Structure 1
Amino acid sequence: MTAAARIGGAPVVTLTALDAPADGPAFLQAQVLPGRGMMLLQARLRLPSGEVVEAIHAPPVEAAACALDGGPDDFNGNASFSFGGAILAPFANRIRGRALPGAREIETIVAGETVRLPRNWGGKAPGAEQYAMHGLILDASAAFEQPSPDRVVGLIDAGDFGGRWPGLWKLTFEWRLQAGALRLRVEARNAGEAAWPIGLGWHPYFALPSGDRRQARLRLPATTRVEVGDYDAVLPTGRLSPVAGSPYDFTAGAPLGDLYLDDCFTGLVRDGDEAAAEILDPAAGVGLRIASPSPAVKAIQVYAPPDQAFVVVEPQFNLADPFGPEWPGGLDTGMATVEPGEAVAYDVSVRAFGLGNP
């Protein structure tokens, strides 16, 4: 990995583990992009065999710089969530609204306030609905410093996100490599004078070292799945379906096979204080545990097309379209309400393990 390149006007920051175990599976290096909302670009993983591989589905730095150049395909920073691991704020997933004629925007209501959001994603079918996707910091630049080789911290003084979100917000970030694990912490502080909602998430593309998607397994203890109208626009119907007995029951772990996934799981069954999912690659002899102790994490979105050798596992606060009328009254759709001067934290770790020692 090289730290010489610049993306989004800022250097590519390389983290190097200082206390990784001498052998066995461990994360050894990582690349972070302060110029693209502190997203993760790549992480190097040592497998149980001793081989070191790229653990994240992403192009090399030079190709990533071309993709993340702010061109027409990068409207609102969309390229940031096409590979690597984008950080999502002030909302994860999708938000629907009224398309504004002559503008790539929607108008919608957030906690009683009318806002305009970028209309940056949607279905590909003719006439499919377009909407706002994955927040407002995908191409934001963060002030940052690297206090040690294994740690980088960042700050985005987001304010009202350019007039697109109620309140005033400061976002702080910390990436670190610790004891062979990769760790992310995001804190959203309400610097305004009233309580307002926020949703946080992370969108990492985990590459399967074996390249064999059919035999890969997913373990995700959750009781319900958000139903969607179709897998084109992938918009919620407002119904939650029990996963028990369905093809989407990954509670005890199940192979991915040829099942297409772009699904939000909720009713998370916590392991101690953690909401966790595991990606198992038996052919490579390795598993990844993606875990969050944050109480505000209410959902995990999984994106895994059958023809790709990656699995995206996204712990996030909110369900898709959290303010939408499709949801039954009284249902908690996951947005965290933060009082003035207070903060909410998002923590997640990724740990690798040999499949003989889960």
Structure 2
Amino acid sequence: MGGRLLEFRRKGGPHIAIPTEAHSFESTNWPRAGAYPLVPYHNRLADATIVAGGESVHLRSHPAAVPHTLHGPGHTRPWTVGTHDANRFTMSLGYAADDDWPWDFRAEQHFELSETNLRLTMSVENCSGRPMPAGMGWHPYFASREAVVSDAGYLWPHRSDYLPDATRVAVAEEDGVVRMATAYLEGWTKAKVALPHGFSATMKASSPFGFLVVHRGDPAHICVEPVTHVANAWNLSLPSSQTGAVLLQPGEALKGSIEILISGSSYG
């Protein structure tokens, strides 16, 4: 199922993510539940094209986003289980170049649970012999009908096809941003999601997860996605330092962690 987390809940408390059961499905029409990895990029690449090291590379478009791509091919492939302990779980993907992504790479997810926290460490390594564009993200479907509260400092406005303009604006009224159907945010340190029965989930992330996507595709859930770059980053006419458009040399890796703290009246 593409490296997915299927169920995430507090024992004796509510579901944190919309639960799903293991089943087969068309890889381009996935269940809107659980959480899945976004690798080696998130969201759309305009016209299924990416500019890397002066070279324009054409990819296969996604049927739900034609003529663009969508969310990288990592979640459409089977992952391999590694460590599997009571509070730790690791899985990896060895990706062989194809029409969806013409570079070899290796990706890993390391989940670790404590009584109140989930910590996910993600990485992607360029295993090909040439420079590779690389980014990461994580796409959970939180079981919440409430607006997300974040401290993001910037918003990247986007068009009707979900591609951002090559500009960002300062967040002047946070309440207006969190109630948008889709918001591409930057400069955040935390995002809080209200859960049923007085519980909440507070998300934080390390570098390079400097961007955040908030998307409500259905009233029953909300997606809060830490990501390493703005959508379509490599194709924007801006310096990579502003967009997060990393280019990994052969053997180089991108790595970061995401943490979710669950709190509620019963345990602080």
Aligned-partner Cα distance in 1 for 2:84–2:75: 24
Instruction: Give yes or no for the alignment of 1:303 onto 2:259.
Output: no
Q: Which amino acid aligns with 1:276?
A: K
Aligned-partner Cα distance in 1 for 2:221–2:150: 16
Instruction: Give yes or no for the alignment of 1:345 onto 2:258.
Output: no
With normalisation by structure 1, the TM-score equals 0.67
Instruction: Give yes or no for the alignment of 1:206 onto 2:142.
Output: yes
Q: Which amino acid aligns with 1:84?
A: G
Decide whether the 8 Å contact of 1:297 with 1:334 is kept in 2.
no
Q: Deviations over 1:255-276 (max 9, x none)?
A: xxxx3421110133xxxxxx32
Aligned-partner Cα distance in 1 for 2:265–2:171: 25
Partner of 1:239, secondary structure, is coil
Counterparts in 2 of 1:249 and 1:203: CA distance versus 1, 3 Å: same
Partner of 1:38, secondary structure, is coil
**Structure 2: 5+ residue runs without aligned partners?**
none
Q: Which amino acid aligns with 2:170?
A: P
What residue is the counterpart of 2:75 in the other structure? 138
What residue is the counterpart of 1:234 in the other structure? 162
Partner of 2:234, secondary structure, is coil
Q: Which amino acid aligns with 2:92?
A: L
Instruction: Give yes or no for the alignment of 1:115 onto 2:58.
Output: yes
Stretches of 4+ aligned residues off by more than 6 angstroms:
355-358
Residue 357 of structure 1, CA deviation: 8.4
Identity fraction in percent: 20
What residue is the counterpart of 1:264 in the other structure? 184
Which of 190, 193, 207 does residue 279 from structure 1 map onto? 193
Instruction: Give yes or no for the alignment of 1:96 onto 2:24.
Output: no
Residue 337 of structure 1, CA deviation: 2.6
Decide whether the 8 Å contact of 1:115 with 1:165 is kept in 2.
no
What residue is the counterpart of 1:4 in the other structure? none
Aligned-partner Cα distance in 1 for 2:171–2:49: 34
What residue is the counterpart of 2:230 in the other structure? 319
Higher strand share goes to which structure?
A: 1
Instruction: Give yes or no for the alignment of 1:53 onto 2:14.
Output: yes
**Structure 1: 5+ residue runs without aligned partners?**
1-35, 98-105, 123-128, 251-258, 269-274
Q: Deviations over 1:96-129 (max 9, x none)?
A: 11xxxxxxxx45534424232332323xxxxxx6
Q: Which amino acid aligns with 2:227?
A: Q
Decide whether the 8 Å contact of 1:41 with 1:58 is kept in 2.
yes
Aligned-partner Cα distance in 2 for 1:247–1:53: 25
Question: What is the number of equivalent residue pairs in this alignment?
Answer: 267
Pairwise CA RMSD: 2.6
Q: In terms of Rg, which structure is larger?
A: 1
Aligned-partner Cα distance in 2 for 1:147–1:94: 33
Residue 308 of structure 1, CA deviation: 1.0
Q: Which amino acid aligns with 1:45?
A: R
Which of 114, 126, 150 does residue 220 from structure 1 map onto? 150
Decide whether the 8 Å contact of 1:201 with 1:346 is kept in 2.
no
Partner of 2:30, secondary structure, is helix
Matches within 5 A, 1:139-158: 139-158=76-95
Counterparts in 2 of 1:207 and 1:175: CA distance versus 1, 3 Å: same
What residue is the counterpart of 1:181 in the other structure? 117
Residue 217 of structure 1, CA deviation: 4.6
Decide whether the 8 Å contact of 2:89 with 2:111 is kept in 1.
yes
With normalisation by structure 2, the TM-score equals 0.87
Residue 227 of structure 1, CA deviation: 0.6
Counterparts in 2 of 1:138 and 1:242: CA distance versus 1, 3 Å: same
Decide whether the 8 Å contact of 1:37 with 1:142 is kept in 2.
yes
Residue 196 of structure 1, CA deviation: 2.3
Aligned-partner Cα distance in 2 for 1:331–1:346: 17
Counterparts in 2 of 1:337 and 1:107: CA distance versus 1, 3 Å: closer
Decide whether the 8 Å contact of 2:49 with 2:56 is kept in 1.
no
Partner of 1:138, secondary structure, is helix
